[in-house]
Structure 1
Amino acid sequence: MTRAILCSLLLLTLLIGIPLPASAQDQKVLATVNDIPITSFDIDARIHLWDLMGMNAKIPNARKKALNAIIDDIAKIAEAKKYRAEATEKEIQARLDRVAQNLKTDSTGLKAKLKKLGVSMSAMRQYLEAQIAFNRILSGKYKEKVEVSDAEVDAKFAEIKGQINGQLAKIKADPRMQPI
């Protein structure tokens, strides 16, 4: 019994000393936003997503910009939930269909392209959800309600028509407009 425990401990210490495979190293957590970890894998996926969508992912500091973009997306989604302006599943699916159409493929082809680049469908959905939600927040915040009655429209139209008729009368009365 004691020998089995010692063998187990020895095996455990040997395993701890073994370096992690590359795929495990890619999962290194770089930041945590609202209890959501952002890993190196997420950063690479965002850069590949930008490549797929035709954005210039080869920009200087692309990894830093990708990290900031993911942080922003998480914050946008959280803010949308706060204002109850989050994107619906139907809106996200419609946007996915539009992305697929722009890439001259269908949803199955889009999934295949994403998988080939190492981008998960959930990363794509998060990206689109953040865009939709943030647009909804901005439009709600800066949307102006303009209410004009028919009488106000008619009055403004009459005013403009009167100004035009006055200018037309001045032009016709100008001596330079008289026949020679």
Structure 2
Amino acid sequence: MKMILLFRPLSRLALFAFLSFVGLNSPLLAQSVAVMVNGEPITTFDIEQRIRLIKISTHKSPPRQEVIEELIGEKVKIREAKKFGVNPTSTDIDQAYASMGARMGMSPEQLTKSIGSQGVRPDTIKARLRADMVWGSLVRGRFKESLLVSDRDVNEALKNSGEDKSKIEGVEYRMRPVVLIVPRGAAGPVVEARRNEANSLRERIQSCSEAVRTVKAMRNATLRDPITKTSADLPPTLRDLLDKTPVGHLTPPEITRQGVEMVAVCEKKVTSVDTPKKKEIREKMFADKYEKRSKSYLDDIRRSAMIEYRESRPEKGDK
């Protein structure tokens, strides 16, 4: 007995149902492809998501074509980085996402909920984080030597800046942190008593050696290891505090999780290493070099990329 397989054309209703099912279950088919980059699609959904993300951070609506070019650049960057073995794991990206949330005072779940309420998916942020991570590592790794900023260049720029000598000279501080321990959850009077004890020490102590002897003889007090820092390593508020504290004396007491903390200033001396101004100039010069190298590198690899626009591209100046 022969079996005959019959193929009948689908009815319009059945065809509509089939296409609806495929569309609902395939994100790519449910969206139109705006650009193909080396065989990878950028969809209208990707573009709209990135526009929303930029609106959240800048409170401005970016030109659509500008967003498309940004997404193309990211595809090209990630592909180039993979060629050199720069390919962060999903764990790396999740950690970067968590760090971003922490800087905003939010957990990853809170960040996801916050951006979700504005119509942005976490994958949209993670895609941008991935591109930034791989590109920074790639450019710094491949062009490390050409990105170096020499002391000669910094000194020349500093000389031409016209800054006064006080901003050009650096200071090296040698310090010894002191902690008067206060148990966690201690009542206010206990904390205040320790603060008064710290102020009493400030009035008596005239040298670092005296601070060491006195604190070692005290109960519930400790000396931390000596610390040496330059003015370039310290935030302005701390530099100002150390400058106002004479050598051999203690800084004003500060309440911390450990107790009441002070710093014995043991030595201050002028140094030729980076000053805050030198550090500022060095970082700016590096950023300028990096920006130029990054742009030229991206332009080069974009020229060799296969980019197919499926949307009509606006004329320059159009949005």
TM-score for both structures, normalised by structure 1:
0.62
1:52-67 matched pairs, under 5 angstroms = 52=56, 54-55=57-58, 57-59=60-62, 61=63, 63-67=64-68
The code of the aligned residue for 1:41 comes to F
User: 1:99, 1:14 → 2: CA distance?
Assistant: 44
Gaps of 5+ in 1: 147-180
Secondary structure of residue in 2 paired with 1:127: helix
User: 2:87, 2:12 → 1: CA distance?
Assistant: 52
The reply on whether 1:9 has 2:11 as its aligned counterpart is yes
1:90 Cα deviation after fit: 4.0
1:46 aligned residue: 50
CA spacing shift, 1:56–1:69, aligned 2, 3 Å: farther
Secondary structure of residue in 2 paired with 1:85: coil
CA spacing shift, 1:135–1:103, aligned 2, 3 Å: same
1:165 aligned residue: none
The code of the aligned residue for 1:72 comes to G
The code of the aligned residue for 1:55 comes to T
1:32 Cα deviation after fit: 1.3
Query: For each residue in 1:122-166, what CA deviation from the matched residue of structure 2 results, as whole angstroms up to 9, or x when unmatched?
Result: 2221110100000001101221299xxxxxxxxxxxxxxxxxxxx
1:151 aligned residue: none
RMSD: 3.3
Alignment check: 8 A CA contact 2:81 2:87 kept: yes
Higher normalized strand content (fraction of residues): 2
1:117 aligned residue: 118
1:33 aligned residue: 37
2:143 aligned residue: 142
1:35 Cα deviation after fit: 2.3
Q: Whose RCO is larger (CA < 8 A, sep 6+)? A: 2
2:74 aligned residue: 73
1:12 Cα deviation after fit: 4.8
The code of the aligned residue for 1:106 comes to S
Query: For each residue in 1:5-40, what CA deviation from the matched residue of structure 2 results, as whole angstroms up to 9, or x when unmatched?
Result: 57x424357779x9x99x999712111113221111
CA spacing shift, 1:10–1:28, aligned 2, 3 Å: closer
CA spacing shift, 1:11–1:72, aligned 2, 3 Å: same
| Count of residue correspondences | 137
User: 1:86, 1:108 → 2: CA distance?
Assistant: 25
1:66 Cα deviation after fit: 1.1
Query: For each residue in 1:51-83, what CA deviation from the matched residue of structure 2 results, as whole angstroms up to 9, or x when unmatched?
Result: 33x235424x2x111111111111111111001
Query: For each residue in 1:99-126, what CA deviation from the matched residue of structure 2 results, as whole angstroms up to 9, or x when unmatched?
Result: 2123331100111123223322222211
Alignment check: 8 A CA contact 2:54 2:61 kept: no
User: 2:16, 2:55 → 1: CA distance?
Assistant: 41
User: 2:94, 2:45 → 1: CA distance?
Assistant: 24
Alignment check: 8 A CA contact 1:85 1:137 kept: yes
1:131 aligned residue: 132
Identity of aligned residues (%): 24
1:94 Cα deviation after fit: 2.7
